[in-house]
Amino acid sequence: MKLVPRLKEKYEKEIVPLLCKSMSFNNKMQAPKIIKIVLNMGLGLDATDNKILKSAEDDLGSIAGQKAQITKSRKSISNFKTRVGIPLGLKVTLRKDNMYFFLDRLINIALPRIKDFRGLNPNSFDNEANYSFGIKEHIIFPEVNFDKVDKIRGLDITVVTSAKTKQQAKLLLDSFNFPFAKGQVFGIDKKSKKKEINKEKDKELN
Protein backbone atom coordinates (compact mmCIF):
# COMPACT_ATOMS: atom_id res chain seq x y z
CA MET A 1 0.00 0.00 0.00
CA LYS A 2 1.39 3.38 -1.04
CA LEU A 3 2.01 5.80 1.81
CA VAL A 4 0.08 9.06 1.37
CA PRO A 5 1.99 12.14 2.63
CA ARG A 6 0.39 13.56 5.76
CA LEU A 7 0.50 17.15 4.48
CA LYS A 8 -1.01 16.17 1.14
CA GLU A 9 -3.97 14.64 2.94
CA LYS A 10 -4.23 17.70 5.17
CA TYR A 11 -4.17 20.02 2.15
CA GLU A 12 -6.96 18.16 0.34
CA LYS A 13 -9.22 17.63 3.35
CA GLU A 14 -8.61 20.69 5.53
CA ILE A 15 -6.64 23.44 3.78
CA VAL A 16 -8.54 23.60 0.47
CA PRO A 17 -11.96 24.14 2.14
CA LEU A 18 -10.39 26.74 4.44
CA LEU A 19 -8.80 28.64 1.54
CA CYS A 20 -11.98 28.52 -0.54
CA LYS A 21 -13.97 29.94 2.35
CA SER A 22 -11.49 32.71 3.20
CA MET A 23 -11.00 33.70 -0.47
CA SER A 24 -14.66 33.28 -1.47
CA PHE A 25 -13.89 30.68 -4.14
CA ASN A 26 -16.80 28.57 -5.44
CA ASN A 27 -14.60 25.91 -7.00
CA LYS A 28 -11.95 24.03 -5.01
CA MET A 29 -9.74 24.05 -8.13
CA GLN A 30 -9.33 27.81 -7.62
CA ALA A 31 -7.56 27.31 -4.29
CA PRO A 32 -3.82 28.08 -4.46
CA LYS A 33 -1.44 25.16 -4.06
CA ILE A 34 2.25 24.37 -3.86
CA ILE A 35 3.44 23.32 -7.31
CA LYS A 36 7.05 22.41 -6.53
CA ILE A 37 9.93 23.01 -4.14
CA VAL A 38 13.39 23.76 -5.53
CA LEU A 39 16.60 23.24 -3.52
CA ASN A 40 19.85 24.89 -4.65
CA MET A 41 23.31 24.40 -3.16
CA GLY A 42 26.11 26.56 -4.55
CA LEU A 43 29.60 25.09 -4.19
CA GLY A 44 31.82 27.67 -5.85
CA LEU A 45 35.33 26.42 -6.61
CA ASP A 46 34.68 23.30 -4.49
CA ALA A 47 32.44 22.03 -7.29
CA THR A 48 35.53 21.31 -9.43
CA ASP A 49 36.75 18.76 -6.88
CA ASN A 50 35.04 15.45 -7.72
CA LYS A 51 35.31 14.11 -4.16
CA ILE A 52 33.73 17.22 -2.61
CA LEU A 53 31.09 17.35 -5.34
CA LYS A 54 30.13 13.71 -4.72
CA SER A 55 29.93 14.30 -0.95
CA ALA A 56 27.67 17.35 -1.38
CA GLU A 57 25.58 15.49 -3.96
CA ASP A 58 25.00 12.64 -1.50
CA ASP A 59 24.08 15.09 1.28
CA LEU A 60 21.57 17.03 -0.83
CA GLY A 61 20.12 13.78 -2.16
CA SER A 62 19.59 12.54 1.40
CA ILE A 63 17.98 15.85 2.41
CA ALA A 64 15.60 15.90 -0.55
CA GLY A 65 14.93 12.19 -0.78
CA GLN A 66 15.72 12.45 -4.48
CA LYS A 67 18.89 12.45 -6.57
CA ALA A 68 20.48 15.89 -6.96
CA GLN A 69 21.40 17.33 -10.36
CA ILE A 70 24.71 19.07 -11.03
CA THR A 71 24.30 22.64 -12.27
CA LYS A 72 26.93 23.82 -14.75
CA SER A 73 28.06 27.22 -15.98
CA ARG A 74 26.50 28.40 -19.24
CA LYS A 75 29.21 30.89 -20.13
CA SER A 76 32.81 31.71 -19.33
CA ILE A 77 33.58 34.47 -16.82
CA SER A 78 37.31 35.17 -16.50
CA ASN A 79 36.97 37.18 -13.26
CA PHE A 80 35.41 34.17 -11.53
CA LYS A 81 37.67 31.62 -13.23
CA THR A 82 34.71 29.78 -14.73
CA ARG A 83 34.46 28.07 -18.10
CA VAL A 84 31.45 26.81 -20.00
CA GLY A 85 30.27 23.45 -18.65
CA ILE A 86 32.16 23.36 -15.35
CA PRO A 87 30.11 22.36 -12.25
CA LEU A 88 28.91 25.22 -10.05
CA GLY A 89 26.54 23.56 -7.62
CA LEU A 90 23.61 21.21 -7.13
CA LYS A 91 19.87 21.40 -7.61
CA VAL A 92 16.82 19.30 -6.76
CA THR A 93 13.24 19.92 -7.91
CA LEU A 94 10.58 18.19 -5.81
CA ARG A 95 7.01 17.62 -6.96
CA LYS A 96 3.94 15.65 -5.85
CA ASP A 97 4.48 13.21 -2.94
CA ASN A 98 8.22 13.86 -2.59
CA MET A 99 7.46 17.56 -2.22
CA TYR A 100 5.00 16.96 0.63
CA PHE A 101 7.31 14.52 2.44
CA PHE A 102 10.13 17.06 2.31
CA LEU A 103 7.87 19.92 3.41
CA ASP A 104 6.77 17.95 6.47
CA ARG A 105 10.37 17.24 7.49
CA LEU A 106 11.39 20.85 6.81
CA ILE A 107 8.65 22.45 8.93
CA ASN A 108 8.48 20.01 11.80
CA ILE A 109 12.03 18.68 12.14
CA ALA A 110 14.72 20.70 10.33
CA LEU A 111 13.78 24.36 10.92
CA PRO A 112 13.18 23.91 14.70
CA ARG A 113 16.76 22.59 14.94
CA ILE A 114 18.25 25.94 13.86
CA LYS A 115 20.02 27.56 16.78
CA ASP A 116 18.15 30.62 18.13
CA PHE A 117 15.53 30.23 15.39
CA ARG A 118 13.10 33.16 15.44
CA GLY A 119 11.07 32.34 12.37
CA LEU A 120 11.21 32.99 8.64
CA ASN A 121 10.85 36.42 7.06
CA PRO A 122 7.20 36.80 5.95
CA ASN A 123 8.23 39.35 3.31
CA SER A 124 10.37 37.06 1.15
CA PHE A 125 7.66 36.45 -1.45
CA ASP A 126 8.56 37.51 -4.98
CA ASN A 127 6.19 39.14 -7.50
CA GLU A 128 5.17 35.69 -8.76
CA ALA A 129 3.95 34.75 -5.24
CA ASN A 130 6.77 32.26 -4.70
CA TYR A 131 8.59 32.09 -1.36
CA SER A 132 12.39 31.81 -1.06
CA PHE A 133 14.68 31.60 1.93
CA GLY A 134 18.18 30.44 2.78
CA ILE A 135 19.52 27.92 5.27
CA LYS A 136 23.06 28.51 6.52
CA GLU A 137 23.79 24.98 7.74
CA HIS A 138 22.59 21.93 5.83
CA ILE A 139 23.31 19.75 8.88
CA ILE A 140 19.98 20.81 10.45
CA PHE A 141 18.48 17.99 8.41
CA PRO A 142 18.76 14.72 10.37
CA GLU A 143 19.26 12.77 7.14
CA VAL A 144 22.78 14.20 6.90
CA ASN A 145 25.45 12.10 8.62
CA PHE A 146 27.44 14.73 10.53
CA ASP A 147 30.48 12.44 10.89
CA LYS A 148 30.85 12.21 7.13
CA VAL A 149 30.35 15.91 6.36
CA ASP A 150 33.50 17.51 4.91
CA LYS A 151 32.17 21.05 5.22
CA ILE A 152 29.01 22.74 6.49
CA ARG A 153 27.20 24.27 3.54
CA GLY A 154 24.21 26.51 2.97
CA LEU A 155 21.32 26.02 0.60
CA ASP A 156 18.46 28.04 -0.86
CA ILE A 157 14.88 26.79 -0.88
CA THR A 158 12.14 28.13 -3.14
CA VAL A 159 8.49 27.17 -2.68
CA VAL A 160 6.70 27.70 -6.00
CA THR A 161 2.95 28.29 -5.66
CA SER A 162 -0.04 28.77 -7.96
CA ALA A 163 -1.22 31.75 -5.90
CA LYS A 164 -2.18 34.91 -7.78
CA THR A 165 -1.01 37.31 -5.06
CA LYS A 166 1.49 37.42 -2.22
CA GLN A 167 -1.42 37.52 0.24
CA GLN A 168 -2.83 34.27 -1.15
CA ALA A 169 0.60 32.62 -1.02
CA LYS A 170 1.12 33.75 2.58
CA LEU A 171 -2.28 32.35 3.62
CA LEU A 172 -1.44 29.08 1.85
CA LEU A 173 1.87 28.65 3.67
CA ASP A 174 0.29 29.73 6.97
CA SER A 175 -2.15 26.85 6.52
CA PHE A 176 0.81 24.46 6.43
CA ASN A 177 2.08 26.03 9.69
CA PHE A 178 5.09 27.67 8.08
CA PRO A 179 7.06 29.20 10.99
CA PHE A 180 7.01 32.86 10.00
CA ALA A 181 8.57 35.35 12.41
CA LYS A 182 5.87 36.83 14.64
CA GLY A 183 7.66 40.14 15.18
CA GLN A 184 7.63 41.09 11.49
CA VAL A 185 4.56 42.51 9.77
CA PHE A 186 3.60 40.94 6.45
CA GLY A 187 3.69 43.41 3.56
CA ILE A 188 6.17 45.76 5.21
CA ASP A 189 9.81 45.08 4.35
CA LYS A 190 12.84 46.76 5.91
CA LYS A 191 13.17 49.36 3.12
CA SER A 192 9.51 50.39 3.40
CA LYS A 193 9.77 50.58 7.16
CA LYS A 194 12.89 52.77 6.90
CA LYS A 195 11.10 55.12 4.48
CA GLU A 196 8.17 55.45 6.88
CA ILE A 197 10.52 56.28 9.78
CA ASN A 198 12.30 58.91 7.66
CA LYS A 199 8.95 60.47 6.69
CA GLU A 200 7.95 60.71 10.33
CA LYS A 201 11.28 62.38 11.15
CA ASP A 202 10.81 64.90 8.31
CA LYS A 203 7.34 65.76 9.62
CA GLU A 204 8.72 66.36 13.11
CA LEU A 205 11.46 68.64 11.73
CA ASN A 206 8.96 70.65 9.68
In angstroms, the CA 104 to CA 46 distance is 30
Inside any domain, residue 47: yes
Can you give the pLDDT at residue 84?
A: 65
Can you give the pLDDT at residue 190?
A: 54
Segments of the chain with pLDDT less than 50: 197
Burial state string for 36-58 with b = 16 or more CB within 10 A and e = fewer than 16: ebbbbbbbeebbeeeebbebbbe
Q: Per-residue pLDDT tens for 99-138?
A: 999 999 999 999 999 999 999 999 999 999 999 999 999 9
Inside any domain, residue 63: yes
Q: In what order do the strands lie in the sheet with 155-161?
A: 69-72, 87-94, 34-42, 155-161, 131-135
CA torsion 147-102-181-189 (nearest 10°) is 110
Can you give the pLDDT at residue 199?
A: 54
Can you give the pLDDT at residue 206?
A: 52
User: What is the domain range of residue 136?
Assistant: 6-205
Can you give the pLDDT at residue 62?
A: 95
Q: What angle is formed at CA 163 by the lines to CA 157 and CA 168, rounded to 5 degrees? A: 100
| Residue 85 belongs to domain with CATH number | 3.30.1440.10
Q: Per-residue pLDDT tens for 181-194?
A: 987 777 765 555 55
Nearest to 57 by CA among 73, 39, 70: 70
71 pairs with which residues across the strands?
89
Inside any domain, residue 55: yes
Inside any domain, residue 1: no
Inside any domain, residue 132: yes
- In what helix (H) or strand (E) does residue 172 lie, and over which residues does it extend? helix 166-175
By DSSP bridging, strand 155-161 and strand 34-42 are antiparallel
Number of folded domains in the chain? 1
Can you give the pLDDT at residue 2?
A: 77
Inside any domain, residue 159: yes
